[in-house]
Amino acid sequence: MTAPVFVSTTIPYVNARPHLGHAFEYVQTDVYARHARSRGEQVFLSSGTDENSLKNVRAARAGGEPVRDLVDRHAAGFTALLSALGVVPDRFVRTSADADHAAGATAVWERMAARGDIYSRFYEGSYCVGCEQFLTSADLVSGCCPVHREQPVAVRERNYFFRLSRYQDEVIAALTDGRTRVTPAPRANEMLAMARAGLADISVSRSAERAGGWGIPVPGDPGQVMYVWVDALTSYVNALGGPRGGELYDRFWQGARRRVHVLGKDVARFHAVYWPAMLMSAGLPLPTDLVVHGHITSAGQKLSKTSGTVVDPVDLMDRYGAEALRYLMLADFSPWSDTDFTEPRLVARYNDDLANGLGNLVDRVTAMLHRYRGGTVPPPGTPGAPEAGLLAAATTACHASAEAFDRFEHREAVAHVWDLVRRTNAYLSEREPWRLARSAGEDAAAAAALDTVLHHAAGALATVARLIDPVLPATAGRLREVLGLRDAAHGPDGVVVTGLRVGTPPRLFPRLELSW
């Protein structure tokens, strides 16, 4: 058995309800985890919510409610979104409520302090609550944070600092020698350029007074709470019980073949520079892969809870279905670049690929099996060049889609599967089983040829069912049920489908109409 794999989403702030960008990251992470499981790998999928952020405190104050009530309410929205999308984490860490997380964050802090990497001093600077970081004048545009378009707050207080500067050379080495791979390459180059430009020590705490007493206390100093990035980033190891050890931590972090974080480009520096340096200081293994996606935009504007530019994924699923939304994001959205969402884009992609493509193929094959062979997949006759071509297409789809998923190219992986769907539809048009059926009763050769076509078409559908399982798990389950398959392990050669009893499916993908 291969070594285990750890895969994580980031943990979003809970100052407001989730938007489509969160759904995209959840589905990306889920498809990579499902793909790894389909290869027989042990996978631990982690997610959670970042509840100790100052922006959560500010949002609660603005709404006149206790911070606990706000974070509980919005955390429930994120867990509901995961469930609606069919994403089931092995652990969901709520940083304000998870005892393992608090203990683990404290343990990481104490390890860094024991190395002499934590020190206290007064600091004065401009603090962006939206970014949860201090900004320099060079970071500002017209005096404002370029991301949140708000003026930062002037802050002077005693903070604890992490000696990030001590780890500059080691971080650069990890990003260049393959220990931590940042995908795509342009993001890796950005992170290297940032590290090579010089790393200054960073603030890793804030006053408990300014935080309203909300957060994880600094060990030995209850007047300070941990800065959100030290707190939040340690949630990855704390999902496994924390660095104190234990079976899950030993298996899925210490002993993992890959430790994969899926994240947005706006938090790349924290994951590619700050987090590895903290792990180095604490003496813990580094992440092996940082998969950095772009933003989802609407009318060219980045989706943001803070700015109020939001597309509600739950509303979209209520109107169009979870599988339609999953398919759009995985088949149509770039894994790396910003993508603009529109509802017509969702409807068109669903109708073209699912209703007219895969749905039509399933209807054709199952209908012919019932019409010509009583609903049972026949053994094949002697295959010819068309069958060899279809088998080659199936083999190519299996290998190419797996290789694309290994590179985190979900859009390319889905495209390879739909190449097989189109090739199978073309195969039926080429072989014309309806023509063979007209003479099959009197012509043994035609009857054998019809069996061959129906057998190979069913085999191709079995392969499609297996390949789409990470992408559309509910659809894959329905397709396996229709084909009489008991699992998703059928290969591309089609031999195992002989004798399967095929059901009469309801239409898998009824056409969608815009529901404005």
Can you give 178-234 as a three-state secondary structure string?
CCCEEECHHHHHHHHHHHHCCCCCEECEEECCCCCCCCCEECCEEEEEECHHHHHHC
Query: What value does the mean pLDDT take over residues 93-109?
Result: 96
Burial label for 389, CB within 10 Å (0-12, 13-18, 19+), is: middle
Closest CA to 26 of 76, 86, 69: 86
The alpha carbon torsion through 236, 237, 238, 241 (nearest 10 deg) reads 140
Report whether pLDDT(493) > 70. Answer: no
Give yes or no for a cis peptide into 184 (omega within 30° of 0): yes
Query: What value does the mean pLDDT take over residues 208-224?
Result: 93
Residue 222: its pLDDT value, please? 94
Q: End-to-end alpha-carbon separation of the chain, Å?
A: 50
**Is 118:247 a contact under the CB 8 Å cutoff?**
no
**Is 457:450 a contact under the CB 8 Å cutoff?**
no
Residue 127: its pLDDT value, please? 77
The band of 494, judged by pLDDT with boundaries at 50, 70 and 90, is very low
Residue 1: its pLDDT value, please? 56
Residue 495: its pLDDT value, please? 45
Looking at every residue in the chain, the average pLDDT score rounds to 92
Token pair recorded at residue 135: 């900004």
Tokens 């929205």, located at residue: 77
Q: Is 101 tagged catalytic?
A: no
Residue 245: its pLDDT value, please? 82
The alpha carbon torsion through 119, 124, 128, 133 (nearest 10 deg) reads -20
The proportion of the chain whose per-residue pLDDT surpasses 90, expressed as a percent, equals 80
Identity of the amino acid at 36: A
Give the C-alpha separation, 377 to 77, whole Å. 45
The band of 220, judged by pLDDT with boundaries at 50, 70 and 90, is very high
Residue 156: its pLDDT value, please? 79
- Delimit the CATH 3.40.50.620 region(s) of the chain: 5-331
The alpha carbon torsion through 306, 66, 236, 112 (nearest 10 deg) reads 100
Report whether pLDDT(496) > 80. Answer: no
The band of 140, judged by pLDDT with boundaries at 50, 70 and 90, is confident
The proportion of the chain whose per-residue pLDDT surpasses 70, expressed as a percent, equals 96
Options 35, 101, 145, 490, the catalytic residue: 145
Residue 491: its pLDDT value, please? 47
The band of 303, judged by pLDDT with boundaries at 50, 70 and 90, is low
Residue 354: its pLDDT value, please? 97
Options 55, 305, 455, 456, the catalytic residue: 305
Token pair recorded at residue 110: 């104490």
Options 19, 55, 293, 416, the catalytic residue: 19
Give the C-alpha separation, 221 to 229, whole Å. 18
Report whether pLDDT(507) > 60. Answer: yes
Q: Is 144 tagged catalytic?
A: no
Q: Is 19 tagged catalytic?
A: yes
pTM: 0.92
Supply angle C-alpha 483, 488, 489, rounded to 5. 115
Options 131, 261, 271, 293, the catalytic residue: 131
> What does 322-378 look like in DSSP terms, one character per residue?
HHHHHHHHHHTS-SSS-EE--HHHHHHHIIIIIIIIIIHHHHHHHHHHHHHHTTBPP
The alpha carbon torsion through 8, 9, 10, 12 (nearest 10 deg) reads -140
* DSSP letter assigned to residue 484: T
Report whether pLDDT(488) > 80. Answer: no
Report whether pLDDT(318) > 60. Answer: yes
Closest CA to 394 of 469, 482, 471, 491: 491
**Can you identify the CATH homologous superfamily of domain 342-497?**
Isoleucyl-tRNA Synthetase; Domain 1 (1.10.730.10)
Give the C-alpha separation, 411 to 60, whole Å. 39
Residue 455: its pLDDT value, please? 96
- Reported as half-sphere exposure (CB side, CA atoms, 13 A), residue 435 has a value of 5
Closest CA to 141 of 131, 156, 152: 152
The pLDDT tens digits of the residues spanning 36-78 come to 999 999 999 999 999 998 888 888 999 999 999 999 999 999 9
Report whether pLDDT(489) > 50. Answer: no
Residue 487: its pLDDT value, please? 55
- Delimit the CATH 1.10.730.10 region(s) of the chain: 342-497
Residue 440: its pLDDT value, please? 86
The pLDDT tens digits of the residues spanning 389-407 come to 999 999 999 999 999 999 9
Closest CA to 8 of 217, 18, 36, 20: 36
Query: What value does the mean pLDDT take over residues 231-252?
Result: 94
> Left, alpha or beta for 53 (phi > 0: left; psi -120 to 50: alpha)?
beta
The pLDDT tens digits of the residues spanning 351-379 come to 999 999 999 999 999 999 999 999 999 99
Report whether pLDDT(154) > 90. Answer: no
**Can you identify the CATH homologous superfamily of domain 5-331?**
HUPs (3.40.50.620)
Options 144, 148, 295, 370, the catalytic residue: 148
Give the C-alpha separation, 224 to 221, whole Å. 6
Phi, psi torsion values for 118, nearest 5 degrees: -120, 130
Q: Which residue has the higher pLDDT, 272 or 489?
A: 272
Q: Is 398 tagged catalytic?
A: no
Give the C-alpha separation, 375 to 505, whole Å. 12
**Is 295:303 a contact under the CB 8 Å cutoff?**
yes
Closest CA to 79 of 69, 70, 91, 67: 91
Residues linked to residue 141 through DSSP beta bridges, in sequence order: 144
Residue 516: its pLDDT value, please? 63
Tokens 């509303």, located at residue: 315
